[in-house]
Chain A
């Protein structure tokens, strides 16, 4: 395997803290927030993160595949979660200590509950509005009622972090858009 070449493209409006472990070819979109101690690890293929995502402390995002790992907009990756899915849509929530294997593709508006393991042996795509919850990682479909309010809350959350985080953390500037 060739050595991993680092290439970070961070949008000027994104907030990526200094104390973040980045490896490989990573693109971070506008307004996305990466908390300190998060890890984004593009082992094989590059990782492209969209706009307005929040990646919290100790979250780990790994791309083990050759193709590009695309993460959409307005996703929330909570503390200590680990995501290896080759693609993530928009407005998903991966809760604290949840773990999503590289066999799962996440569409949009999905919620992976706290501590849930989503590790199917075969490739699968989570339908939109799938909720994985509880100790058995039970699944159900969310009706989608309240998604506008949730998106609004996510936006406010990101807005607040954009203001607050740089006050207390060194922020990394990408070499892309400067």
Chain B
């Protein structure tokens, strides 16, 4: 796997410090940059796991018709126009006219066919050539097909049963909504309240006698919701199912007699259907295409909208788009191949003779982080390796990258990471780049940037080569180099947390943030602002030490 950097969203954590990256559970707190949002009000990163999502509109993915939310439920979440899915291969079906009747075969006929076509019309799959005439569905006119098919759908026993259930629960739902209105707050009411008629209705339905199933023993808590349950009449289904039903036997019988596997509809073919359908391929019906929705997302704390798509289904733009990529520098990490390093004048301490990528135990590897500034102002960035214990350890971040958490503080990771310790600039983002090549900027001396693990470097005895520090600057991209020393008995993946703090000129009077990422408002309005966030850098797996030679040069 290529080396990667994921960004931390502190939404799930109780402390602002990121979890150690080598724990499997921590993958939920780290996200790729393009998935993250940024709330300007809270000055914080938000991820898809913490934002609140609301549907801003429904549309059909095929005809792009925007379905008013009022009719979505009535149309059972599917397109009610002319969009159908092939029950055989799930392609979109098209409406086609029938062949003219008086033609023996199409060949030799020079008369152009009627452009309108003749009825009956049917649905036709261009991919697998399934057509609805196979299941006796044809149409007199090529418009309003869903309405013409409505009767098929409504007469399905499952659909009727569902309608009946809805009718049965209607009074309870109405009672619940009115009581919710009368109650203090609807939100507090909906969750734990045993008196809620909906839950009561559901539990009473569950408590119903089902032949062949042991009687449901009501748990002691059931006493409390006794009241509303008593008010409810028992639901009687249209058809008595369960026990020995004729349907199941017919299916068994059918399965016994099949000659080809294609006679049986595959699970995928029946899956998209709303109702239980028969096993036969010959019974598959065209399906109305399920609607899609456009969603807007809000910040969980301040309720400001973070992203809001344009209403029109055709549009792929957003009215509001506060994505983290517009605020945080985007970073990519790379392990340069030996060739690149040679060109840069540095030599890797342990050349892999086979040339295979991978980190070998007991070796030192340089790595490069390219930071891209999305802001229109230049920023100053400071990187530091983050340990789990006290957060402000930027000076002593030499050895350890992460530690396994409070309980295993003594256990150090089997590798050490060095990063440039001083802040470095990244130029502002500009639409058109017409910059002079800053050659002197390119070759910044390494002494200017203090090295976090100087002793680690000196033991390698290659002081002339420069791997740690600013390597390259161009446009709004700055590439910095780091170095990782992998222990002799290392295994697993080289993953560490890196704290990134950057200073920028703030336009508004927002307060200066402390280096911990969660800002607090003060009354001062300083010119420069600092924002910090954590990342998890994954340099890839360590090749266990077997055949690779010792790093002695």
A143 at the binding interface (Cβ < 8 Å): yes
B134 near A133 (CB under 8 angstroms)? no
A150 at the binding interface (Cβ < 8 Å): yes
Main DSSP-derived SS at the A contact region = mixed
Roughly how many angstroms separate A48 CA and B127 CA in the complex, as a whole number?
29
> B137 to nearest A CB, angstroms?
12
B286 at the binding interface (Cβ < 8 Å): no
A83 at the binding interface (Cβ < 8 Å): no
B107 near A140 (CB under 8 angstroms)? no
Closest B-chain residue to A95, C-beta based? B127
A146 near B124 (CB under 8 angstroms)? yes
B113 near A140 (CB under 8 angstroms)? no
Closest A-chain residue to B262, C-beta based? A140
B112 at the binding interface (Cβ < 8 Å): yes
> A123 to nearest B CB, angstroms?
21
Known: A143-B133, A146-B96, A151-B107. A133 touches B127 (CB 8 A): yes
A147 near B99 (CB under 8 angstroms)? yes
A 120-144 contacts with B by CB, 8 A: 131, 133-134, 138, 140, 142-143
Closest A-chain residue to B138, C-beta based? A145
Known: A147-B99, A148-B100. A134 touches B89 (CB 8 A): yes
B103 at the binding interface (Cβ < 8 Å): yes
B131 near A148 (CB under 8 angstroms)? no
Return the contact of A148 from the options B106, B124, B133 (Cβ within 8 A): B106
Proximity bits, A140-178, B CB within 8 Å = 1, else 0: 101101111111100100000000000000000000000
B127 near A148 (CB under 8 angstroms)? no
B236 at the binding interface (Cβ < 8 Å): no
B 123-155 contacts with A by CB, 8 A: 124, 127-131, 133-134
Roughly how many angstroms separate A2 CA and B107 CA in the complex, as a whole number?
40
A 26-58 contacts with B by CB, 8 A: none
Roughly how many angstroms separate A70 CA and B134 CA in the complex, as a whole number?
33
A25 at the binding interface (Cβ < 8 Å): no
Roughly how many angstroms separate A140 CA and B131 CA in the complex, as a whole number?
12
Closest A-chain residue to B112, C-beta based? A152
With a cutoff of 8 Å between Cβ atoms, the chain B residues found around residue A113 in the complex are 127-128
With a cutoff of 8 Å between Cβ atoms, the chain A residues found around residue B112 in the complex are 152
With a cutoff of 8 Å between Cβ atoms, the chain B residues found around residue A62 in the complex are none
A140 near B106 (CB under 8 angstroms)? no
Return the contact of A149 from the options B89, B99, B128 (Cβ within 8 A): B99
A84 at the binding interface (Cβ < 8 Å): no
Among B98, B107, B129, the most chain A Cβ lie within 10 Å of the Cβ of: B129
Roughly how many angstroms separate A140 CA and B281 CA in the complex, as a whole number?
11
B 68-115 contacts with A by CB, 8 A: 88-89, 96-100, 103, 105-107, 109, 112-113
B100 near A140 (CB under 8 angstroms)? no
Known: A74-B107, A140-B262. A148 touches B129 (CB 8 A): no
Roughly how many angstroms separate A145 CA and B136 CA in the complex, as a whole number?
13
Return the contact of B99 from the options A91, A148, A155 (Cβ within 8 A): A148
B127 near A145 (CB under 8 angstroms)? no
Roughly how many angstroms separate A138 CA and B125 CA in the complex, as a whole number?
15
With a cutoff of 8 Å between Cβ atoms, the chain B residues found around residue A78 in the complex are none
A98 at the binding interface (Cβ < 8 Å): no
A145 near B130 (CB under 8 angstroms)? no
Closest B-chain residue to A133, C-beta based? B128
A145 near B99 (CB under 8 angstroms)? yes
B37 at the binding interface (Cβ < 8 Å): no
A 10-25 contacts with B by CB, 8 A: none
With a cutoff of 8 Å between Cβ atoms, the chain B residues found around residue A91 in the complex are 106-107
Among A90, A131, A142, A146, the most chain B Cβ lie within 10 Å of the Cβ of: A146
Known: A134-B89, A152-B113. A146 touches B131 (CB 8 A): yes
B122 at the binding interface (Cβ < 8 Å): yes
Roughly how many angstroms separate A91 CA and B133 CA in the complex, as a whole number?
22
Roughly how many angstroms separate A132 CA and B113 CA in the complex, as a whole number?
28
> A137 to nearest B CB, angstroms?
11
A69 at the binding interface (Cβ < 8 Å): no
Return the contact of A152 from the options B88, B106, B127 (Cβ within 8 A): B106
Closest B-chain residue to A146, C-beta based? B96
Closest A-chain residue to B88, C-beta based? A140
With a cutoff of 8 Å between Cβ atoms, the chain A residues found around residue B100 in the complex are 148
Closest B-chain residue to A152, C-beta based? B113
Closest B-chain residue to A114, C-beta based? B127
Closest A-chain residue to B132, C-beta based? A145
A143 near B131 (CB under 8 angstroms)? yes
Roughly how many angstroms separate A147 CA and B96 CA in the complex, as a whole number?
11
With a cutoff of 8 Å between Cβ atoms, the chain B residues found around residue A134 in the complex are 89, 127-128
A151 near B131 (CB under 8 angstroms)? no
Among A73, A113, A151, the most chain B Cβ lie within 10 Å of the Cβ of: A151
Known: A134-B89, A140-B128. A146 touches B262 (CB 8 A): no
Roughly how many angstroms separate A157 CA and B134 CA in the complex, as a whole number?
28
Return the contact of B129 from the options A142, A149, A152 (Cβ within 8 A): A142
Roughly how many angstroms separate A90 CA and B106 CA in the complex, as a whole number?
11
A140 near B99 (CB under 8 angstroms)? no
A148 near B105 (CB under 8 angstroms)? yes
With a cutoff of 8 Å between Cβ atoms, the chain B residues found around residue A131 in the complex are 128-129
A147 near B128 (CB under 8 angstroms)? no
With a cutoff of 8 Å between Cβ atoms, the chain B residues found around residue A140 in the complex are 88, 128-130, 262
Roughly how many angstroms separate A133 CA and B98 CA in the complex, as a whole number?
23
B 281-316 contacts with A by CB, 8 A: none
A111 at the binding interface (Cβ < 8 Å): yes
Return the contact of A133 from the options B89, B106, B262 (Cβ within 8 A): B89
A148 near B89 (CB under 8 angstroms)? no
With a cutoff of 8 Å between Cβ atoms, the chain A residues found around residue B134 in the complex are 143
Return the contact of B122 from the options A73, A138, A145 (Cβ within 8 A): A145
Known: A145-B99, A149-B96. A73 touches B113 (CB 8 A): no
With a cutoff of 8 Å between Cβ atoms, the chain B residues found around residue A155 in the complex are 106
The 8 closest A-B CB pairs, nearest first, are A151-B106, A148-B106, A148-B99, A142-B129, A133-B128, A131-B129, A152-B113, A148-B103
User: Could you give 7 example pairs across A and B, Cβ below 8 Å?
Assistant: A131-B128, A134-B89, A140-B129, A145-B122, A148-B99, A148-B106, A152-B109
Q: List residues of B whose CB falls within 8 A of some A CB.
A: 88-89, 96-100, 103, 105-107, 109, 112-113, 117, 122, 124, 127-131, 133-134, 262
Known: A113-B128, A131-B128, A148-B105. 14 other contacts (CB 8 A): A91-B106, A113-B127, A133-B89, A133-B128, A134-B127, A140-B128, A142-B129, A143-B129, A145-B124, A146-B96, A146-B131, A147-B106, A148-B100, A155-B106
